[in-house]
Chain A
Amino acid sequence: MNQDKLKILSEFFKKLWFNKSSRTGFILVLLVGLCALFAPFITDYQPNVQNLNQSLQPPGKEHLLGTDFFGRDLFTRIIYGARISLGISLFATFLSTILGVGIGIIAGYFGKIYDKIAMRIINLLLGFPKLPVFLIFAGLGGTSVKTLILFMSLFSWMELARISRAETMSVKTRPYIKSAIALGLRKRTIFLKYIIPNIIGPIIASATLLISSMILLEAALSFLGFGVQTPIASWGTILYQGKSELVNGWWISFFGGIVIVITVIGFNLLGDGLRIIFEPKSKS
């Protein structure tokens, strides 16, 4: 049994590695992830310690990507910011995946009125422009990282719900589900043991793609000043700061954005690659 799982896993990585774009994506994501994880070992500077003698130094030997107005090393801030930005994005993706898959499976499995209600809600939420709605949240109670994550996940689960609904509907008609029902298994067991393992592929692919839109959303919200608040370094707050220093320090905005682009490209390529692996149909 264990041997089988290992074999499947190694086959999976082989496929991932042999596709050029998913390999690129995997490497980019791994690179950014490792940088974030081992941030203190990569840089000697601290992300929030000010050094006004070194204010607005252009990229060079001492400061790889330059410094900001307060003399903080930009490279350090970017890799420490990766912890915050990736952390928020991953957590929000996790929450909306659970929400989306739950709603999708219920809608797909039970059908009828459940399905109708779920689809109505999904279509309604898809019509909401995210930023203006978030501004209502922010205008009501101010913002914190908690509100940010809550909002990001509450307004992003729809795509996952649609996918897991469609997959559940097709899996539901298979004989093994019918026999599981005939055996009188509990609904929870059927969902967790029979449906989810069989629809997990497309869900993982779509969740990977969702991470990249979460990163962009976090950056946009923090950029407007409503997400992560300033002394804390996140990619959005770095861009927020970069905008006010645009005349004297173009590198803050430039590198702050480039790192987002690299990460998002990574997740997009990886997600597309996963989608191809899990859906052999789209390969042709």
Chain B
Amino acid sequence: MYKYFIKKLLYTISVFFAGISLIFIIIHLYPGNPNMLFLNPEAGVEIQQRITEKFGLNQPIVFQYFKWLYRIIIHWDFGHSFSTGKPVLELMGTSFLPSFVITVLATILALCIGIPAGVLSGKFRNSLLDRIITSIMLFFYSMPGFWIGIMLLWFFSIKTNLLPSSNLTSLFHHQMTFPEQIIDYIKHLILPVVTIALPFSSIFFKHVKSKLVDILNSDFILAAKSRGISENKILCVYALQNTLLPVITILGTTLPVLLSGVVLIEVIFSIPGMGRLMVNATMARDYPVVLASAILTFSFVILGNLVADLCYKFADPRIRMGQENESR
């Protein structure tokens, strides 16, 4: 276990470096002078030169790369935003929390929808219930996640005015009492969380259903049946245990999909999170912010994968050490 952990950690660190190096390479391989991309083309030659020098863009690329890495790792310094002048880390600090909360809540909701649906569908295979659930889930799987967000927004905020359409807090949030504030948060979170969770739940549904069908057809279930163990006990104790464990790894591997969804949803519901920060920064060509948030998102993904792997390993001792590369 200890050895496995160290190995996994080393692997994760190497992936992290490969990833951020790739981001750096993409930026520098891009045609055109990097400083020209973010400058007003009408700026004078002198200003251009000053900026080139200020950001060290006249130095050799290898040197720039190590300087960039050094700053990030040693000083945890991602530079300053071009458009607001604030340190990037400060901007990201305020926008990280909403995204994180939404991601976690949406994952929980997706699990709460996807797993029971998958179990029901797998248990009563080829019944009417199975067909209905499978059709709904195929619909969720095939729709653009942001589209259902727009339709929910239209129905609940514009048509019936039940839920707020944007932001995380009401205008008079700070004047409310504490319980009211909590309710206010919840009201603002419902639509974004549901929007992310619906398409996401279909991924869990697919895996849980196919796995459960596999297991219910396997020999040890037949053996349990022949011993006269009740159907419910077989399902709850023998089958579910083996079905739900792989969900942990799916959680890890679908994290990138989830984060892409969060970006879209934050734009639709105007939530001041990482996604909207990134989109706005991209539109304003605020390059340090884009870069830093890409790195942070990437780190979040590989950290999530590491945790999922370790949890899975912890939960299922059958997975042999060193086999994790082949199995993925």
A residues with CB within 8 A of B: 119-120, 123-124, 126-133, 135-141, 212, 216, 219-220, 223-226, 239, 242-243, 246-247, 250, 253-254, 256-257, 260-261, 264-265, 268-269
Contacts and interface: CB of A to CB of B under 8 A. Distances in A.
Interface of B: 15, 18-19, 22-23, 26-27, 30-32, 34, 37, 138-139, 141-144, 146-148, 150-151, 153-154, 158-159, 253, 255-257, 259-260, 263-264, 267-268, 275, 278-279, 281-283, 285-287, 290-291, 293-294, 297-298, 301-302, 305, 325, 328
Contact of A220 (B138, B260, B283): B260
13 contacts: A123-B325, A127-B301, A129-B259, A132-B259, A136-B27, A139-B287, A141-B31, A226-B282, A243-B150, A246-B158, A254-B151, A257-B150, A260-B147
A124 B23 contact: no
B138 A268 contact: yes
Contacts of B27: 136, 140
Contact of B142 (A135, A137, A254, A264): A264
Contacts of A247: 158
Nearest to A236: B144
B142 A268 contact: yes
A22 to B, nearest CB: 13
A279 B264 CA distance: 36
A128 B19 CA distance: 8
Contacts of A223: 144, 146, 264
**Chain B interface helix/strand/loop/mixed:** helix
Contacts of B146: 220, 223, 239
Contacts of B147: 219, 239, 253, 256-257, 260-261
A261 B142 contact: yes
Nearest to A260: B144
A132 B158 CA distance: 29
Contact of B294 (A127, A135, A256): A135
Contacts of A120: 18
Given A119-B325, A250-B159, 9 more contacts: A123-B325, A131-B259, A132-B293, A139-B282, A140-B27, A243-B150, A246-B150, A257-B143, A265-B142
Contact of B285 (A139, A246, A269): A139
A132 B138 contact: no
A27 to B, nearest CB: 15
Nearest to A141: B30
Nearest to B258: A129
A229 to B, nearest CB: 13
A268 B287 CA distance: 37
Closest 10 interchain pairs by CB?
A257-B147, A131-B260, A264-B142, A139-B282, A129-B256, A129-B259, A265-B142, A135-B282, A139-B290, A131-B263
Contacts of B283: 225
Nearest to A135: B282
A260 B138 CA distance: 13
Nearest to B290: A139
A261 B139 contact: yes
Contacts of A131: 259-260, 263-264, 275
Contacts of A268: 138, 141-142
